Structure 1
Amino acid sequence: MAQKNILFLTGDYAEDYETMVPFQMLLMVGHNVHAVCPDKSAGDKIITAIHDFEGDQTYSEKRGHNFVLNASFADAKPENYDALVIAGGRAPEYLRLNAKVIELVKHFAYADKPIAAICHGIQILTVADVVRGKTLTAYPAVGPEVTIAGGHYASVNVDEAVTDGNLVTAPAWPAHPQWIAAFLKVLGTEIKL
């Protein structure tokens, strides 16, 4: 398996599982993963949020873990990376306001590099205007944004993922088994047991 260089975009109050699990899994299978957040450097931390589905009309939110970034956002040059992962949670609502974040996303999309986004992470893709004509999923509350941005919103179960070319999306962390497996396939990662 060829090691891939993966840029992992996260931020304060990104969803805990949607940050921790894919980051650790991609390292575990041998990829080089740089976790970054605008205005933060390697060694800085973000605070995650735990979102749960407890039968209410929307998810509940609790404080999560401190997650230590291993790379500096200011040093992230998209041409040095093979793929992009975007965590969900509340972070995407403010990350999408950062012009450099949008430039990074456009680089990956226009270069047809693999992109994995989950939950509210898709909000960054819609602002970057890179979902037009694509079929993807997201947390259901983000579905209207996908449609307005010209994408085809796929309403799937919370534990399912959608792949359209090099774009792999999922509605929330219960989809990790399908989402991560689909992203590894797009990356060309083979795991031999």
Structure 2
Amino acid sequence: MANEIRLLMLAGDYVEDYEIMVPFQALQMVGYSVDVVSPGKKRGETVITAIHDFEGAQTYSEKPGHNFALTADFDAINTDDYIGLIVPGGRMPEYLRLDAKVISMVKAFSDRPIACICHGIQILTVAGLVKGRRVSAYPACRPEVEIAGGVYADIPVTEAITDDQLVTAPAWPAHPAWLAQFLKVLGANVSI
């Protein structure tokens, strides 16, 4: 469709299940077209998700998730076609941040809306997009945020924070706040 408003979402094996599924579906529900890509993979191929939960241990637990079908070819993406970027968490960011093409792609969104949650901040730190910004992430990522020159916002797991066009949150329990703030940054007019 020529009038589509398009968003790009990064994916990779062991992306957090809720952090890819919920924004993917919710943003489509309000009218955005969301292309989900993963390095080295094409449209229709899948990534494996992981479900992270908070069950009283010192850190989150991990359970098998789903196979998520990608909606576009990574190598065919032109970042100029997108108004914003979504970076979910899970274990995916720890290895995607090592991919120069991913980092280049993310840097292209430095002046556009970005929604980043949980460990997704690991990609933004490598891309140089947190320096001088107040951001949140999974608490274990605090040292990386601070080393990258960002100010870590220690907020409740159900909250999100916006710094200019960058919307961040600690983990999936923040989806209502995180997605609402991202929609506001996108300029969406959503009312019930």
TM-score normalised by length of structure 1 = 0.97
Answering whether residue 180 of structure 2 is matched by residue 181 of structure 1, we say: yes
| Displacement of 1:103 | 0.4
| Displacement of 1:71 | 0.5
SS in 2 for 1:108: coil
Residue matched to 1:155: 154
Query: Aligned partners of 1:88 and 1:120: how far apart in 2?
Result: 4
Residue matched to 1:88: 89
Paired letter, 1:5: R
Paired letter, 1:8: M
Paired letter, 1:149: A
Identity %: 62
Aligned positions of 1:25-36 closer than 5 A = 25-36=26-37
| Displacement of 1:192 | 3.3
Residue matched to 1:123: 122
Paired letter, 1:136: V
Residue matched to 1:24: 25
Mapped contact 1:126–1:149 kept (Cα < 8 A):
yes
Q: What is the CA deviation profile of residues 57-106 of structure 1, one whole-angstrom value per residue up to 9, with x for unaligned ones?
A: 00000010111011010111111111000010000001001001100111
Residue matched to 2:103: 102
Query: Aligned partners of 1:4 and 1:56: how far apart in 2?
Result: 41
Query: Aligned partners of 2:26 and 2:191: how far apart in 1?
Result: 15
Paired letter, 1:69: L
| Displacement of 1:22 | 0.3
Aligned positions of 1:30-49 closer than 5 A = 30-49=31-50
| CA-based RMSD | 0.9
For structure 1, which segment, 159-168 or 75-84, has the greater mean C-alpha deviation from structure 2 after superposition?
75-84
SS in 2 for 1:19: helix
Q: What is the CA deviation profile of residues 15-74 of structure 1, one whole-angstrom value per residue up to 9, with x for unaligned ones?
A: 000000000001110001100011110000111000000000000000101110110101
Residue matched to 1:146: 145
Query: Aligned partners of 2:34 and 2:135: how far apart in 1?
Result: 24
Mapped contact 1:14–1:87 kept (Cα < 8 A):
yes
SS in 2 for 1:62: strand
Query: Aligned partners of 1:79 and 1:134: how far apart in 2?
Result: 24
The structure 1 segments of at least 4 consecutive aligned residues displaced by more than 3 Å after TM superposition are: none
Unaligned ranges ≥5, structure 2: none
Q: What is the CA deviation profile of residues 101-145 of structure 1, one whole-angstrom value per residue up to 9, with x for unaligned ones?
A: 100111101xx1000000000000001111110000000000110
Q: 1:41 to 1:89 in 2, by over 3 A?
A: same
Unaligned ranges ≥5, structure 1: none
| Displacement of 1:4 | 2.3
| Displacement of 1:155 | 0.4
